[in-house]
Amino acid sequence: MASVTYDQVTKRFGDVVAVNNLNLGIQDKEFLVLVGPSGCGKSTALRCLAGLEEISEGQILIGDRVVNDVPPKDRDIAMVFQSYALYPHMSVYDNMAFGLKLRRTPKAEINQRVQEAAKILGIEMLLDRKPKQLSGGQRQRVALGRAIVREPAVFLFDEPLSNLDAKLRVQTRAEITKLHQRLGTTFIYVTHDQVEAMTMADRIAVIRDGILQQSDTPQNLYDYPANVFVAGFIGSPSMNFFDATITGTADEMYIDTGTFRIKVSDSIKARLTDGLGRRVIFGIRPEDIFHPGYVSAGINAVKVESTVDVTELMGNEIFLYLMAGDHSYIARVDPRGHAHTGDKIEMVFNADNIQLFDADAENQPSMLKLG
């Protein structure tokens, strides 16, 4: 059991800065997911914590101990790799027992811990097999088992589900969440898949180009993204963005995209930090745009004249790709809201559930205070 602290950690590979001045505290027993696009430095951050990479600046603490110069074997961590990294010449049992044997754990205890972990993961009948004889999902479990038996202070996961097929991924996702509840240990999990991040994390840290963008609970990240990047990265399909200007008067403000205008509602105005005349990026999620025939009750409806470009039927919903003037956007609408390419529809935007970002500031941060 331990907390983890990244204190101004920087990692350089030659001229490339992989992790840039990362400050991040992870509490004991927390499930933190590091998420970001490929090559953003999230894996490097994890490998620095594991001791597989030396950090260039700053310090990393596990509990109260600075581990900068502690080799991986003495950090009391366990890691699950994307490729599982099982030892091919050892049986499943020996794979799981390897770390304990190196620590001279008594044989009886090794046996008990391996059996217990195997039972949790449902791989008791595979203990005598070699990794070669296992399916991808089974290998994944063995890799998890190898980490569990060590009873480490911190579990590290480096994209552990990437090599599984879609169905197995969803299933294993739930199992890892259950495992976290059962073990009550600190989990740090790296993924590029925002769905994994949203579904599993207590807290998500979004990283881009080695820089931490925002770290918060999944719901807060979704509702109050700190900048355009986070807003666009979290959620599927992504949030729609429109270049716009704030016009009107202090009492009656409008977001003007050039093609359509949306009146700034009172609730948004109350949170707005800056005002008139500013160039902004106006964001709205696809599920906050409705087909005129199937509008949810109690929303602040604003009509926007649009043309249907493409429709994608998902069964439980329809994705409409629409054009409003020069702006293209996606709406996620009720499946009964039939539409065909070329149809002109007055789509309904929920003006209470929008985001505004400062178009002129670096990183395009949100202009809305937390609600």
Partner 1 sequence: MSYFDRTKEQRSSAVISILATILRVALAILIPLIAFLVLYAGFLFLRAGNAPKWLITIVAILWGVGGVAVLYWIFNWIVEMFPEQWTIRLQPFVFVGPAMAILIWYLAWPAARTFYISLFDRDGPAAGNFVGLGNYVAVFTDRLMRQAFRNNIFFWILVATPLTVALGLLVAVLADRSRFERVSKSMIFMPMAISFVGASVIWNFIYEVKPVGASQIGLLNALVVGLGGQPQAWPAYTAIAPFNNLFLVIIVLWLQTGFAMVLFSAALKGIPEEIIEAARVDGATEVQVFFRIMIPYIMGTIITVTTTIVIFTLKIFDVVWVMTGGQFGSDVIATQFYRQSFIARNAGYGSAIAIVLLIAVIPVMVYNLRQFREQEAF
Binding residues for partner 1, per CB under 8 A? 50-52, 71-73, 77-79, 81-83, 85-90, 98-99, 102-103, 146, 150
Looking at the Cβ atoms of 19 and 302, the one nearer to partner 1 is 19
Minimal distance, residue 318 CB to partner 1, in Å: 42
Nearer to partner 1, 98 or 319 (CB): 98
**Shortest Cβ 55–partner 1 spacing (Å):** 16
The Cα angle at residue 339 between residues 334 and 344, in degrees rounded to 5: 120
CB of 92 to partner 1, least distance (A): 14
Report in angstroms how near the CB of residue 367 gets to partner 1 at its nearest: 44
Handedness of CA 202, 206, 207, 211 (dihedral sign): negative
Residue number, 150 or 169, with CB nearest to partner 1: 150
For residue 312, the minimal CB distance to partner 1 (Å) is 38
- C-beta of 70 vs 295, nearer to partner 1: 70
- What tokens does 324 get? 């409003």
- Residue closer to partner 1, measured from CB, 191 or 366: 191
The nearest distance, CB 182 to partner 1, in angstroms, is 22
Distance in angstroms (rounded) separating the CA atoms of residues 34 and 194: 10
Q: What's the min distance (Å) between Cβ of 87 and partner 1?
A: 6
Nearer to partner 1, 2 or 239 (CB): 2
Task: Give the shortest CB-349-to-partner 1 separation in angstroms.
Answer: 48
Distances (CA, A) of 135 to 74, 77, 91, 115, 316: 32, 26, 14, 20, 33
Residue 50 or 201: the one with the smaller Cβ distance to partner 1 is 50
| N-to-C CA span, the chain | 34
For the bound state, the minimum distance from the C-beta of residue 129 to partner 1, rounded and expressed in Å, comes to 17
CB nearer to partner 1: pick between 44 and 194: 44
List of residues 6+ apart from 253 with CB closer than 8 A:
246, 247, 263, 264, 269, 272, 275, 276
The distance of closest approach from Cβ of residue 74 to partner 1 in the complex, given in angstroms and rounded to an integer, is 8
Q: Which is nearer to partner 1, 123 or 244 (CB)?
A: 123
Residue whose CB is less far from partner 1, 150 or 173: 150
